[in-house]
Amino acid sequence: MISLHRSCFLNNSGISGSSSLFSYKLNKLPPASVKATALGPNSDTNASVLIENNKAFKEITQDGTSAAANVDINLTVAGGDREVYYDDAATEDQLVTPWSVSVASGYSLLRDPHHNRGLAFTEKERDAHYLRGLLPPTVISQDLQVKKMMYSIRKYKVPLQKYMAMMDLQETNERLFYKLLIDNVEELLPVVYTPTVGEACQKYGSIFRRPQGVFISLKEKGKIHEVLRNWPQKDIQVIVVTDGERILGLGDLGCQGMGIPIGKLSLYTALGGVCPSACLPVTIDVGTNNEQLLNDEFYIGLRRRRATELEYAELMDEFMTAVKQNYGEKVLIQFEDFANHNAFDLLAKYGTTHLVFNDDIQGTASVVLAGLVAALKVVGGTLADHRFLFLGAGEAGTGIAELTALEISKQTNMPLEEARKKISLVDSKGLIVKSRIDSLQRFKKPWAHDHEPIKKLVDAVNGTKPTVLIGTSGVGRTFTKEVVEAMAALNDKPIIFSLSNPTSQSECTAEEAYTWSKGRAIFASGSPFDPVEYEGRVFVPGQANNAYIFPGFGLGLIMSGAIRVHDDMLLAASEALAAQVTQENFDKGLIYPPFKNIRQISANIAANVAAKAYELGLATRQPRPKDLVKYAESCMYNPAYRSYR
């Protein structure tokens, strides 16, 4: 058995990210020579290794174990001096050898999701890799496999069944999974991501079959560094981590929140082109306060109340330290679905020492700001000309509010404190005002303005007279008919964003927004809604989905070698997304571009983010590519089957 480290990025000076340690166990030696060539993101090799006529071995024991090996390493990667992905567009014509832990042939090859091609193995490959008799005689193309899988998935009527079918495919044929998702992104995005992923997390204990990420619980305290080394991939560039306390709008799901990091990283690959072997899903299990889960015999997490304060902080600090020790300074850590009381503190604490990004705070803010900027082309004016009212003052609400204020300040040179006065927030106790400031959490205090206290949302609408109403409350049907009609009375074209996920928690439906505003609302939601027909006109609701932003944002950080996230990068991502909304989209009532173009959208976002990283002096990959869009495209993972030797 040959066991080799691998890397998602290589350069012409050597192996990036891991040492060139090799261990061998040969059950039988090859007759003449074995050549293991760098495979791709799913390879366990990160070098060309030539072992010819057994000359490389200094000593071979009788049981076939190598006591010592001297291996010549020659790195040959297309692209000159630039660092590239193994499975990017620049290397798609190169031949690969499907060897991972051992020479992957026969039955083992069909059980390896990274290299399995099912019925797409050619006649030549079936002979070369001992597959004769293990497959039916038919040879079919990957495109026909996609057609067949879509036919099967569409037969399922229950979304969770579709989700499970997709997860099974990911674990049996990784390339086909991503090809399927990329080619049918608009249809399958709601299956692998919100809203279906919410139900998957709720039932994760019942549907759990095999590990797809790393579970770090309080039992692992003191040995997280070693636990991370148990993950087979060594060169990780993106980690999505959750502690499961605030999964979507569903609350504390504890260890079962793992469905979120898995889903997010699937989108990093499918939508942003980050190679799958560079992605690591992580769940931090510190217990759960969900009594139903604690009493569920199928629950897979720690059966204890949540750890807090010092116990929690020490585990997170050990995790963050271990990540940098294992994967280096440039690994992106995306915080996902942490509760407010931890999310803001973690972002503030590690934002200056690690490359960290909170999707709920920053990703949501960036995608919503893009929608607002695009909507201005319909309603007119600048951001500074509008007034904003938020229902919800948690991570998403305050994150959107702050990024919007930053953009207003940037456009007008207005002091940030003045820009914030154009934005009002409502929480569970009513409008956030100065008279409440002593009782407010720290992240709410910047939004406490001089205003009389108001309890009801409809009164806040009439009192602050907003042109934009944004819901991030996590409470469904709070944008009542009375509220929407009040917005329509104040504005010819009221902007209404109902962003809470999943669909059941949305502040209002698309149909309600269009009907109650008499077809005048500019509407967007967090989860998808079907088109709405009102008085003979069809309205296509926009979806302010974070999937527009974080895959391209992450790719931009990776390809520039950024070491920190800066607010200006988020603004750059928003501007890049808004710029891709065409007049044709506006004519259909859309303020976001269609998802079918998401890879091109992500490439443009990545280029803008990378450009900002270079401008700010935060990029480490030098020299800067001349055409960042083309460079981003060339770095994207390509799920098409590779030709095997």
Q: Residues within the annotated binding site?
A: 246, 336-337, 360, 501, 545
Q: What are phi and psi of 49, to 5 degrees?
A: -120, 125
How distant is the alpha carbon of residue 441 from its chain centre?
Answer: 29
Q: Which residues contact residue 254 at a Cβ distance below 8 angstroms, ignoring those fewer than 6 apart?
A: 244, 245, 285, 287, 288, 290, 293, 299, 301, 302
Indicate the Cα dihedral angle 428, 429, 432, 434, nearest 10°: -160
Q: Which of 86, 178, 193, 514 is catalytic?
A: 193
| Tally of CA atoms within 13 A in the half-sphere of 37 that contains its CB | 12
Both tokens of residue 516? Answer: 């109650």
CB 416 within 8 Å of CB 446:
no
According to DSSP, the residues that pair with 238 across neighbouring strands are 279, 332
Q: What angle do CA 342, 271, 543 make, to 5 degrees?
A: 70
Q: What angle do CA 155, 160, 162 make, to 5 degrees?
A: 35
Task: Return binding residues for a divalent metal cation.
Answer: 336-337, 360
Q: Tell me the C-alpha distance between 209 and 204, whole Å.
A: 9
Beta strands in 336-476 (DSSP E): 355-358, 388-391, 423-427, 430-431, 468-471
Q: What are phi and psi of 286, to 5 degrees?
A: -115, 20
CB 113 within 8 Å of CB 174:
yes
Task: Return binding residues for (S)-malate.
Answer: 246, 501, 545
Q: Which of 162, 264, 330, 612 is catalytic?
A: 264
- Please say if 193 is a catalytic residue: yes
CB 407 within 8 Å of CB 395:
no
Indicate which residues carry an active-site annotation: 193, 264
